[in-house]
């Protein structure tokens, strides 16, 4: 069971954990890793993360950073409750 979401990637625009994703589920989808958010112009979530000095130990941060754009793609203005709910991946 995924708990920390440390390995989170995007398949197209949905966040998922590759450790529980089958090859057939990923077939023909664009895969974006945490490194992909930093290529070229940094993603706004990554830029805000750095500007707000959120970094802590770093173990679960990639998962947190990767789930934020997926959540914002589904709900551009999420409620505080949704942003911090267990099922949201935050």
Q: Which of 10, 89, 30 is nearest to 18 (CA)?
A: 10
pLDDT at res. 22 = 92
What phi and psi values does residue 46 have, to the nearest 5 degrees?
-65, -40
60: how many CB neighbours lie within 10 A of its CB?
Answer: 14
Distances, alpha carbon 75 to alpha carbons 7, 9, 23, 27, 72, in Å: 22, 18, 27, 25, 5
Name the band, by pLDDT with cuts 50, 70 and 90, for residue 84.
low
Q: What is the pTM of this model?
A: 0.67
DSSP strands (E only) in the chain:
9-11, 14-16, 31-32
């Amino acid at each position: 069971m995924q708990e920390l979401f440390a390995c989170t990637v995007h398949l197209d625009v949905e966040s998922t954990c590759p450790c529980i994703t089958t090859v057939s589920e990923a077939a023909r989808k664009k895969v974006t890793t945490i490194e992909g958010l930093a290529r070229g112009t940094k993603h706004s979530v990554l830029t805000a993360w750095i500007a707000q000095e959120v970094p802590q130990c770093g173990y679960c941060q990639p998962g947190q950073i990767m789930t934020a754009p997926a959540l914002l793609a589904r709900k551009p203005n999420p409620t505080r409750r949704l942003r911090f709910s267990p099922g949201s991946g935050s």
